[in-house]
Structure 1
Amino acid sequence: MSKLRRLVPSTQSLFVFEAAARHLSFKAAALELNVTQPSISYAIKLFEKHCGTELFERDNRGVHLTEAGIQLYEEVRSGFRGIEQKLETISGHGAKYITFAASSSIAAHWLAPQLYHFQEEHPDVRIKVVSTDRDIEPDKEVDITCWVRPRNFSRDNSWFIADEVIFPVCSPGYLRSHARPETVNDLVKHKLLHSSDLYRKRMSWSEWVELAGGDATEIQPDIVFNDYQLTLQAALAGEGISLGWAMSAQQLLNNRLLVRPLDMQIRTDRAHFLLANERATANSSCKKIVDWFLSSTSELREPSLSSQSE
């Protein structure tokens, strides 16, 4: 048997004490607990007698916690809060998060800078962003995610975001201290930043230069990052020129943290898609995020982005 049962007159006495201590008013506690004020006063006196010490000081101005009352109230309040949180969790009544899984580059450079706008419009929706190095199937653990697939990809609860468009990017500082490339072949004279993701197929510099009509034979990677996010970070630091995917570079370009040193881009036969699990249509919070994401990426679907050299 719990020792607590011997230390308090009843579990109800803890609720009475907590309400009276929180309000510092027997009258307010009585209203909250839907009982009379004399019954609150009697319950507190009984509790104090059981504890062997006064918990409240009474005077003409009302009631105040004694030092013992303050100490007990802190413990009771903390205990109640912990029990409430755990009961909400196990009963399913706690805070519901919409889990958004994305590559580290999209999570860092698209979602992170943008989500506060969404939260301002929808403060009732809570979002958990999960960075992942591979594509994750939306399921009971993941509500929404982004994939790159052939442009004709189609399935339930999937939405076209934009074509896969790739172009060189660098920091404004790098461009100020280096000669701007005038042609594709000028790129080989620059420090090119390379990445090779283990679980996601990304276009290499050699592939991009060849598709852009240049000579890729002199391109020899010296440093290769195993995560595209690291390549972008190196570009942001002014270390060289990286390939930029329109999806993950959109906000960096809009904010002039990155610039395009060469007016050339490649549009592949693939595209970015937003996917949600099967519960998406019945989940209003999930639908709000999907609608917001598609609206916020609308500029990526503008004809101007895909009308340049390919």
Structure 2
Amino acid sequence: MSKLRYMLPSTQSLFVFEAAARNLNFKLAAAELNVTQPSISHAIKALERHCNVDLFVRDNRGVQLTEAGRLLYDSVRSGFQRIEHSLKTITARDTQYITVAASTSLAAHWLVPKLPIFQQRHPGIKIKIVTTDRDVEPDHQVDMTIWLRPRNFERPNSWYMCEEVIYPVCTPSYLASAPPLKSVEDLARHQLIHSSDPHRKRMGWSEWLGIFGVASAEAEPDLVFNDYQLAIQAALAGEGVVLGWAITTHLLRRNRLLVRPLMEELTTENAFFVIANERSSKTEEMKLLVDWVVEEARAS
């Protein structure tokens, strides 16, 4: 039997010592362990009495490790790292993935093309993308998803990504062969593509045109799809003009696959948010992915 249990006042004292030694600050250690600063000082003093050695030098500038403290910290730090690695190994169920649910268009035209950047930075993090035609609640099967909600939306484990911005887009070849498109009113003479998702409310041509002062009857959609991704594919095929969401058409425009024939755009009262389940949001891997998604969305 290991004698370690008799050499410490408690196993918790090692966690307290490690946090205090790593931060060299009892207040920060207390905040990290969710305890009071006096309890940290008490635990360190108890450990020093038990070991009959000073582990910290205390002065007006804070605390520093003694030679004995540095020796113990090096051992505790490396020991914790080995234990953590072993626990991750034995508790892993095959390959562990972060499962991200998103609409087909958001996955195809924004998330997937950008993922190589994230994987180059963090090659050890495995990601599974699942597409869905409706907003799903993160649960034991879905770690993270992206919702469109009012800008003032708030809930635990949610992060603001970017505003909802909508404008017309089409291919350069369609624009070159179609009637002149110099103003919003000209859209009435063009082939308009519309999507009407059954589970996600999207702004349609009638609403968008009405905001810019054009009666919807003057520009009825010619092609209607029940999936925004199909509408985008029709536009890419040169079938006409579609309402494009900035986040999902950014890369298509950057690559000149789609262009904006007009500069009119609508910034709505909505925004895109990352939503994570409570369990996953506490992992370091998830924090890295969330930070990256938010960073990329705001740069788009």
Q: TM-score, normalised by structure 2?
A: 0.68
Do the aligned residues in 2 keep the contact of 1:212 with 1:266 (CA within 8 Å)? no
- Does the 8 A contact of 2:196 with 2:225 survive in 1? yes
Q: Is 1:291 the equivalent of 2:297? A: no
Residue equivalent to 1:119: 119
CA apart distance, 1:92: 3.5
Instruction: Render the CA deviation track for 1:51-89: whole Å, top value 9, x for unaligned.
Output: xxxxxxxxxxxxxxxxxxxxxxxxxxxxxxxxxxxxx99
The separation in 1 between residues aligned to 2:234 and 2:104, in whole angstroms, is: 14
The 8 Å contact of residues 205 and 220 in structure 2, kept in 1 or not, is answered as no
Shift of 1:90: 11
Identity %: 53
Q: Gaps spanning 5+ residues in structure 1: where?
A: 1-87, 301-310
The runs of 4+ residues in structure 1 deviating greater than 4 Å are 88-91
Is 1:211–2:211 an aligned residue pair? yes
Q: CA deviation at 1:218?
A: 2.2
Could you tell me which amino acid in structure 1 is paired with residue 231 of structure 2?
T
Query: Counterparts in 2 of 1:247-262, with a 5 A limit?
Result: 247-262=247-262
**Deviation at residue 292 of structure 1 after TM alignment:** 0.9
Q: From the superposition, tell whether residues 121 and 210 of structure 1 become closer, same or farther in structure 2 (CA, over 3 Å).
A: same
Check whether the contact 1:185–1:215 (CA below 8 A) recurs between aligned residues.
Answer: no
Cα deviation, 1:186-241, whole Å, max 9, x if unaligned, reads 00101000110000000110110011122222233343100000000111111100
Asked if 1 retains the 8 angstrom alpha-carbon contact of 2:161 and 2:297, the reply is: yes
Contact persistence 1:147–1:274 (CA under 8 A)? yes
Q: Work out the number of aligned pairs and report it.
A: 213
Specify the structure having the higher radius of gyration (Cα): 1
Query: Deviation at 1:124?
Result: 0.2
C-alpha change, 1:209 and 1:89, in structure 2 (3 Å) is farther
Look up the equivalent residue of 2:274 and give its one-letter code. L
After superposition, what is the alpha-carbon deviation per residue over 1:136-156, rounded to whole angstroms, capped at 9, x for unaligned?
111111111110111110111
For residues 255 and 287 of structure 2, the distance between their equivalents in structure 1, rounded to whole angstroms, comes to 28
Q: Deviations over 1:114-161 (max 9, x none)?
A: 111111111101100000000011111111111011111011111111
Note if 1:158 corresponds to 2:158.
yes
Question: 1:91, CA displacement in angstroms?
Answer: 6.2
Letter in 1 for 2:169: V
Runs of 5+ unmatched residues, structure 2: 1-87
Q: Quote the residue 1:278 is aligned against.
A: 278
Check conservation: 2:109, 2:248, Cα contact below 8 A. yes
Q: Which residue does the alignment assign to 2:171?
A: 171
Which residue of 2 is the match for residue 198 of structure 1?
198
1:1-310 pair list within 5 angstroms: 92-300=92-300
Amino acid aligned to 2:187? L
Q: Which amino acid aligns with 1:221?
A: P
